[in-house]
Amino acid sequence: MITRDDIQVRLDSLAKPVGSLGRLEALAVELALASRALTPLTRPRRLVLFAADHGVVAQGVTPWPSAVTTAMVETILSGKASSTALATAHGVDVRVVDAGMAQPPREPWPQHFNAHPVAPGTADLSSGPAMTEDQFDAAWALGETEAKNAVDAGHRLLIAGEMGIGNTTAAACITHALAGIDADTATGSGAGADAAMRGIKRDIVAAAVARLDGRTDKAALAAIAGFEIVAMAGFYAQAARQGVPVLLDGYVTTAAALIAERLCPGTRAVMIAGHLSAEPGHQAALTQLGLTPVLEWQMRLGEGSGALVALPLLDSAGALLCDVARLADIGA
């Protein structure tokens, strides 16, 4: 296992004054640690976009109807979403996965979205558990499979993204429950909630988490999560098992990262935080995981967009460790 010291020794041996690349060197250390390699690769890489709907949307927690989830998946598939434009710009393979639950009768979970509407989403978390433990397990397994398939296909860096109208309410519940912040701080405006809507959302978040009585086990997390969020948690856990780094996006992906670390301690070791979302609870979630975001650009979109914008900096950090000569090689 390589250590922080090993990486620092390598950085300091390169043909440049010690420390002269500033924060890029800190990022190189993070990338090497997460990759468990002194010469980490960032290519090929894949973005897996998990889509799902949320029953809590019925309570007026977002200005957008659930139909926008499917409309955006179609836009993503056409390559015309923010995420897909950025993925194309940066040479990222994209997969779109329907994390929704086909029911009843229970059909196999779709492995790939084929321009059909996203399968039915979670139950309304304001009036009962969002999903059963069986559904939690199925969503987790879906994410694990996606990570395994990506690694088997040769990908060396993985990004999870999400599309799910209403999912910042689930993310707020998870962050309130797992990162020790109050419901008000955990609740942001998501995709554009105004002050009144944000108030409704905060009260729903507070009540849903209060019902857990301090429990944060799988059953408790199933009550407040979303299918795409649990799938991303399984994705991260599997990536960690495979020793492949993951670049986190914003508030919603970090909520998934909190679940992964809670249920599979140590998953955090492969995580790099792409950016700090404008959602007010994101900083606490990153702090809980011990992560420092690459960018602070007031982005608040999701779809993996913040991770994709940070990605060229990760490429730069990797190039430094892989391609720069050593002082000893140039006789200096």
Ligand X SMILES: O=C(O)c1cccnc1
Residues contributing to the site for ligand X (CB under 6 A): 168, 190-191, 249-252, 277, 279, 300-302
Cα 9 to Cα 25: distance, rounded to the nearest angstrom:
12
Taking CA atoms, 26 is separated from 29, 50, 250, 289, in Å, by 5, 30, 21, 17
Tell me the window of 165-173, 204-212, 257-265, 318-326 that interacts with ligand RBZ (CB under 6 A): 165-173
Which are the contacts of 262, defined by CB distance < 8 A and separation ≥ 6? 178, 216, 221
The verdict on 303 binding ligand RBZ (CB under 6 A) reads: yes
User: What is the closest distance, in whole angstroms, from the C-beta atom of residue 23 to ligand RBZ in the complex?
Assistant: 28
Are 204 and 61 within 8 A, CB to CB? yes
Cα 238 to Cα 141: distance, rounded to the nearest angstrom:
9
Q: In terms of Cα–Cα distance, which of 105, 104, 103, 94 is closest to 51? A: 94
303 is catalytic: yes
Tell me the window of 11-19, 125-133, 236-244, 299-307 that interacts with ligand RBZ (CB under 6 A): 299-307
User: What is the closest distance, in whole angstroms, from the C-beta atom of residue 140 to ligand RBZ in the complex?
Assistant: 20
Chosen residue from 166, 234, 274, 293 binding ligand RBZ by CB under 6 A: 166
Tell me the window of 262-270, 271-279, 287-295, 298-306 that interacts with ligand RBZ (CB under 6 A): 298-306
The residues in 211-250 that bind ligand RBZ, with binding defined as CB under 6 A, are none
Residue 169 partner contact from ligand RBZ, ligand X, none using kind-dependent CB cut-offs of 5 to 8 Å: ligand RBZ
Residue count at the site for ligand RBZ (CB under 6 A)? 18
In the block, tokens 């910042």 appear at: 168
Which are the contacts of 237, defined by CB distance < 8 A and separation ≥ 6? 140, 143, 144, 260, 263, 264, 267
Name the phi and psi angles at 61, rounded to 5: -100, -5
Enumerate the active-site residues: 303
Residues that bind ligand RBZ (CB under 6 A): 62, 64, 68, 72, 162-169, 190-191, 193, 301-303
